[in-house]
Amino acid sequence: MPTYQFEAMDPQGQEIRDVIEAPTQDEAQATIRSMGYFVTKIAQQKSNVKAGQSSSQARKTFALGGAGGKKMVTFTRQLSILQDAGLPILRSLKILEDQANPGALKNSLIDVCDEIESGSSLSEALSKSPKVFDRLYVNMIKAGEAGGSLEIILRRLAEFKERTQKLKGKVIGAMIYPIMVVVFTIGILTFIMLFIIPEFQKMFEEFGIELPAMTQLLMAISDRVCRLWFLFPLIPISMMLFVSLVCKFRAGRMGWHLFLLKVPIMGKLVEKANLARTTRTLGALVASGVPIIEGLTITRETSGNAMFEKIFSRVTDSIRAGDTIANPMKANSRPGFHPVTLFFFLATMSLPPLAVLFIKPDFWFYVAYGSFGLCLVGFAWYFLNYKKPVVEDLVVNMIDVGEETGELDTMLYKVADYYEEEVESITDGMMKLIEPLMIIFLGLVVLFIVVSLFMPLIAIISGLTGGNK
């Protein structure tokens, strides 16, 4: 049976130091209290701790990375309910550890339980598993422990996790549909170009007829696909690797993230999603009693966008100098000209002409003019939009009012609610717009293939009919 060292105060205020044997730390504390002592410190003896740790290691399974967002939402909500029911924190964590499936979360809960049994607080124990419990999570728990309102903080944290996961799911869900349609379309067209069009090409060559321009273009596309099919998976992979390499550098990461914020339609979605996430994060931290400097630092680290990281970093520096949040946020919300962002705009606009060059190399003259024209369009768009602020005046004004009235957390929650509704509205609008556009695009592709194949077929049939006469 484990042995616990404890320090306590008797009814006369005298300090007591002793050891006690008990199955768990909770039962040890209960026994000490039944003796009329008030426990001030308790920890399992080191020999017992090591034995417990070895048994804990045996219960762990191999796991990579952290826990998923949905698992963390479920865990936080369940822990909040158990704390509302009045269960000791160690008992609650052991219940959830037993219920958890093998993986990173279960392994972390085993470690957390061991740390708490060794005398650590909940926040200290959670901080030992940073892959599962990030700084936001740990600091909110720490604030709850300091204020004696852990069950309230857990409830807020559960609500925060649920809202964040819902917003993330909404954005990802809006992207999955068009990506799946595009991938499916490319797969079908590749099959047609590899196996169907070459058969028609052999038939046309046997009859020796002159092919129309549309049919020649279709045959050229089919020929390139048959000879260079291996480039199709390599091109997107190479582009992703290139972007990842660019983002390894500070200037490259800023340029890429500004490009995402300034892209038509999609940029607004990225901007509003970041505003919703960052304001809700900061609001949750402020409401939990986390110091504002620490809250801004955590919000910056969890924003996931270099431009927003820069804004919150400048705001933090200004607050240290005695300023408010609203003024430096407004002053730093306008991004300046960034050459890497311009490069991404020019590269994106030049891709369609380069695709034509891939099919018809002898069209290089027209491709050059087309690329130049589209690059001018991309440059004009970026030049007209690069100074637009990424944090709207609504956010700044709401934060200013919150600071004036002392209800900053309430205002931040209102801003987050507003932008979450905006994100839902944009994603719903995109879904409604993408579906007909995809249908029109597929219809045009099918029309092009059918017309390109039927025109020479009609000529062949006409020639055969005329020959028979």
Residue ranges in 69-196 assigned as alpha helix (H) = 69-84, 89-99, 104-117, 122-127, 135-147, 150-191
Tokens of 306: 């270099």
Q: What's the whole-model pTM score?
A: 0.72
Residues in the chain: 469
- Residues in the chain predicted with pLDDT less than 50, given as ranges, are 49, 469
pLDDT at res. 316: 92
Q: Are 116 and 93 in contact (CB under 8 A)?
A: yes
Query: Residue 210 burial (CB < 10 Å; 0-12/13-18/19+)?
Result: exposed
Dist. CA 231–CA 228, nearest whole Å: 6
Nearest to 456 by CA among 218, 193, 194, 210: 210
* CA terminus-to-terminus distance, the chain: 106
pLDDT at res. 439: 83
From the CB of residue 237, how many other CB atoms can be counted at a distance below 10 Å? Answer: 10
Assign 7 to helix, strand or coil.
strand
For β-strands 38-44 and 15-21, DSSP reports them as: unpaired
pLDDT at res. 384: 92
pLDDT at res. 469: 47
State how far the alpha carbon of 232 is from the alpha carbons of 56, 220, 238, 243, 265, in Å. Answer: 49, 16, 10, 18, 27
Dist. CA 69–CA 86, nearest whole Å: 26
pLDDT at res. 397: 92
